[in-house]
Amino acid sequence: MRKILLHLIPLLITATTGVAQDTIKLKNGDILSGKILKQDSYTVYFKSDSFGSVSLYTRDIAKITVSTEELGEIEVPAEALAPVVEEKPLPAVEAHKPDLAKHPPKENKQWSGQAGLSFAMRESNSLQQKNDGTLQETEESFETYRINGNIAWTGGQNQLRWDLNYRYSKSDLRKYDDLFNVKQNYNYTFKQKTYYTEAKTLFQRDYRRGIEEEFLQTAELGINWFKNSSKFELSTSVGGGYHEYNRVKRDWQQNVLAEYDEAMPKFVLDQNLKWQLVNSLTFIEKYTHLGDLENYHFLFTAGLENKLIQELFLRVEYRLERDTEIAYDGKGYYDRALLTSILYKF
C-alpha cells in the first residue's frame, strides 16, 4: 500500500499544477474528463465540467491519464492504481443449537390423558317423609369425594376418548351420593379444522337422581369458532340422541320400591370454552343440554385451572346440574357444587 501511495505522489503533484484535462477510463468503457482532486487507496475524487464533483471507487477504474500543457499526457501505470479488493463473504456463524438434553423437542403424542381427585361441597334437594306420613322437599348439604380419569387416542383427524367417574358420600346414618359413569367420545375433524362430527356413548348410575341404569347415544355436528387461536377455544355442537334410563321410585303410600323405564329421542346441545389467561392459568367453561325447553337435563361447569409443577394442575370450579324429569314434590332435581381438584396430565 505504501509503494502505491509513493508512486502516486509525483503524479498527483504534476496533475494539480497543470491546467489540462485529466481522463479516467472506467471498466465499463465510459471515459470521464476533468480534474483529479484527490485519491486514496479506495476512492478517486474527480471534478468534471459535465457532472461536477464526483467520487469513484478505484475498483471500478481501468486507467487514469493525467495531462499537462508542458509534459503532455502521462499514463498512470496499472501498478499505481489501488488494487481491487474483493469483498469476501463473512464466515458463517454457527447457529446456537439448543441443548436437547435440557429442552427436548415436543412430540406429537398419539396417547394422552389425565387422572384426578376431587373434593366437593354440595347442595341438593331430595324428599323426606314426615312423622304424619306426608312428603316434603328438603335441601341437603354434604361433602363428596370423586376420582376421575380419561385416556385419549389421536390419529390424524380422528380422536377417541374414554372417561371414567366415580363419586361417593356417606355418613353414619345414611348414604348421600353414589355416582358411577363411563363414557366414550369419538370426534372427527374435517380438514379445514372448522367443522367436526361427534358421537358419544354414556352409561351411568346415579343415586341422587334415583337412576339405576342410564344409557345415552348421541350424534352431533359441531363448529370450532376460533380454529387458528391456541389461547382461546370455543366450540358448539348440536344433534340428536337416544336416551333410556331405569329409575327406582319409592311408593310412599305402599312403602315399596317401583321401577320405571323411559326411552325416548332427545335433542342435544354441547358448548365448550377454554381461554388461556396467562401461561399457567386457564379459564374453562362447559354447558351440556339434553332434552327440550320443558323437560331437560342440563349440566353447567365453570372455573379456573392453574398449572403447579410439571404436569400437575389445580382446578377450582362451580358446577350446577338440573333435571326436570326427576321431580321431587313437583320440583325438578338440582345439585350445586364447589369442586377443588388435583389433576395429573400425561
231-285 pLDDT, tens digit per residue, is: 999 999 999 999 999 987 766 566 556 778 889 999 999 999 999 999 999 999 9
Mean pLDDT estimate for the chain: 83
Strand arrangement of the beta sheet that strand 22-26 belongs to = 52-57, 43-48, 31-39, 22-26, 61-68, 72-75
Residues 204 and 339 grouped into a single domain: yes
Q: How many domains does the chain fold into?
A: 2
Provide Rg for the chain, Cα atoms.
Answer: 43
User: What span, in angstroms and rounded, lies between the C-alpha atoms of 337 and 346?
Assistant: 27
CATH of the domain at 269: 2.40.128.130
- Position 93 in a domain: no
Residues 22 and 66 grouped into a single domain: yes
The phi and psi torsions of 311 (rounded to 5 degrees) equal: -105, 25
- Position 44 in a domain: yes
Report residue 169 CA to chain centroid gap: 38
pLDDT at 328: 64
- Position 49 in a domain: yes
Domain boundary residue, one of 59, 80, 101: 80
**Which residues, at least 6 apart from 277, have a Cβ–Cβ distance to it below 8 Å?**
283
pLDDT at 15: 41
Residues 256 and 312 grouped into a single domain: yes
Domain boundary residue, one of 80, 101, 128: 80
User: What span, in angstroms and rounded, lies between the C-alpha atoms of 337 and 155?
Assistant: 36
Residues 281 and 158 grouped into a single domain: yes
- Position 90 in a domain: no
Give the domain range for residue 65: 2-80
Q: Is the pTM of this model over 0.85?
A: no
Q: Is the pLDDT of residue 54 over 70?
A: yes
Q: Please, which pLDDT band fits residue 24 given cuts at 50, 70 and 90?
A: confident
- Position 97 in a domain: no
At 66, list the grid cell: 493525467
**Which residues, at least 6 apart from 257, have a Cβ–Cβ distance to it below 8 Å?**
248, 249, 250, 251
CATH of the domain at 36: 2.30.30.100
Residues 31 and 119 grouped into a single domain: no
